[in-house]
A and B are shown apart, each in its own frame.
Chain A
């Protein structure tokens, strides 16, 4: 990274940290003041601030508390241990990626169908849109219960909920992408008397890639959200969602925040991986520059 780029990045990170600490002091102050008063000593503002930054169950834990918890969790136990956060991240990532894979297949297939058969646009697309108006938090427990009755537990229900969230942006982006080919280039294919399949493979599909990758970035982040939401009602023992749930049961705010940070890191990593794939697959990297 060049220094030109590093400076704004560092300033932004610093600003976030300062705001975070300020927020911690502000939000934790009432509880901390109560505790100090109950202890019976006189206390100064400096005492109060020190107390807000080192609470056992803060309203908002400080960045160093979260970092320490992350460090302990990641290094204190083997990766296969249920007490290691990386293990939970792996469980969630597995469900998210399985759901993402299914979402890509479903999303691309729907888009191809909609573009090739005009009737599907009016008959199928409304259902696709309607599916997204149902809150995932409402439908996730139902999917888990129904699939559980059918004998499916573990990864599959979680992957399906992740898929449910991520196929939509792929369908929408891909429909737009498959139709993005210039009318002139479509005429060109006609002058070569290319068939529908050839036009699709040689023109529509490559023309859609920049749109597809934009959608994939949204979809892969959505799949992480889907997997985490799916872990809440499963009462699962493992996964970032399960950690969030158990953290909130026992008032372990530091644990919740550690899980949140890991979820964010997971999403960032996955989006970056999609970006790398885009660079490799879309030559010129100019997104359809002409």
Chain B
């Protein structure tokens, strides 16, 4: 691959509604890292702003930098250039203030802790009192439909249930922002549908801002208010699709049969294919 930078493709967000507060603001973000023999452009000139209450999906093929983008927002990865603010702070300040909850691809539960004590882990680190911790854990476990599993160990639960525990854990300290990195990627289709439905209800009831990384077009269209389509190497934003205008906020699984849903899915697919033609 030639080292020359490709022409930047910047998308200015239409400032249609001035009211919603911007939670995440990404400006001309570039991230390169040195692989064995050549530099890898993980992200190239990415700009995106995310308003409070948004459900944003980042979709793209493997290696398009969608996970990297989210890890930059979470201060788990340092950008080469560009600016990111989270709640008006740098990602590091936001991380130190525990502004976001992160749900990883794998549940990453601690096998030596019960389900309840997995959920209370961040609260323990924050120094909350034990009774308060337990009460919050119970609330969050109820929210993800896992009441009664407090005393179980993670390995006694199915994969879908484990991932729900990890969502409860991310919600336990009540962050404004929820970052989810392909949380349902390893689950079967039926479990995934079920969890998508649960997640959209959870989002509606908590009004959290969500950033969601996925491979699945159907999942992205079903969950999102906006879909960000990305292209691989260098990771760039190809298209930002607003789903909120055509799809209602409250969604059921049947919506996937509607022409509006199909139209958006088609546009996402076209965007992805456009990105792929770069490679061939």
Binding site for B on A (CB under 8 A): 182, 184-185, 187-194, 198, 202-203, 206-207, 209, 282-284, 286, 288-290
CB–CB A286/B111 < 8 A: yes
What's the least CB distance linking B228 to chain A, in Å?
22
CB–CB B74/A191 < 8 A: yes
Complex interface: chain B residues within 8 A of A282 (CB): 112
How far is it, in angstroms, between the C-alpha of A150 and the C-alpha of B31 when the chains are bound? 63
Instruction: Check A284/B125 contact, CB under 8 A, given A184-B106, A191-B76, A193-B96.
Output: no
The binding surface of chain B is classed by DSSP as loop
CB–CB B76/A190 < 8 A: yes
Contact of B112 among A182, A187, A284 (CB under 8 A): A284
Is B153 at the interface (CB under 8 A from chain A)? Answer: yes
Is B100 at the interface (CB under 8 A from chain A)? Answer: yes
CB–CB B95/A191 < 8 A: yes
How far is it, in angstroms, between the C-alpha of A185 and the C-alpha of B114 when the chains are bound? 16
Ranked 3 nearest A-B pairs via Cβ:
A184-B108, A191-B102, A192-B122
CB–CB A193/B111 < 8 A: no
With A202-B121, A207-B112, A289-B155 known, 18 other A-B pairs at CB within 8 A are: A182-B106, A184-B106, A185-B108, A187-B104, A188-B102, A190-B95, A191-B100, A191-B101, A192-B98, A193-B97, A193-B98, A193-B125, A203-B110, A206-B110, A209-B112, A283-B153, A290-B154, A290-B155
Is B246 at the interface (CB under 8 A from chain A)? Answer: no
Binding site for A on B (CB under 8 A): 74-76, 95-98, 100-102, 104-106, 108-114, 121-122, 124-126, 153-155
Contact of B125 among A202, A283, A286, A288 (CB under 8 A): A202
Complex interface: chain A residues within 8 A of B108 (CB): 182, 184-185, 188
Most interface-central of B109, B112, B114, B121 (chain A CB within 10 A): B112
Complex interface: chain B residues within 8 A of A190 (CB): 75-76, 95
CB–CB B111/A289 < 8 A: yes
Contact of A198 among B74, B109, B125, B153 (CB under 8 A): B125
What's the least CB distance linking B86 to chain A, in Å?
12
The residue of chain B having its C-beta at the shortest distance from the C-beta of A203 within the complex is B110
Instruction: Check A284/B74 contact, CB under 8 A, given A188-B104, A193-B96, A206-B110.
Output: no
Most interface-central of B76, B105, B106, B108 (chain A CB within 10 A): B108
Instruction: Check A288/B111 contact, CB under 8 A, given A191-B102, A198-B125, A202-B121.
Output: yes
**Sampled A-B contacts (23; CB under 8 Å):** A182-B108, A184-B106, A185-B108, A185-B110, A187-B76, A189-B125, A190-B95, A191-B76, A191-B101, A191-B102, A192-B121, A192-B122, A192-B125, A193-B96, A193-B98, A194-B125, A202-B121, A206-B112, A209-B112, A284-B155, A286-B155, A289-B155, A290-B109
What's the least CB distance linking B185 to chain A, in Å?
13
Complex interface: chain A residues within 8 A of B113 (CB): 206
CB–CB B153/A193 < 8 A: no
The residue of chain A having its C-beta at the shortest distance from the C-beta of B95 within the complex is A193
CB–CB B111/A290 < 8 A: yes
Complex interface: chain B residues within 8 A of A182 (CB): 106, 108
The residue of chain A having its C-beta at the shortest distance from the C-beta of B97 within the complex is A193
Complex interface: chain B residues within 8 A of A198 (CB): 125
Complex interface: chain B residues within 8 A of A189 (CB): 125
Complex interface: chain A residues within 8 A of B122 (CB): 192
Complex interface: chain B residues within 8 A of A283 (CB): 112, 114, 153
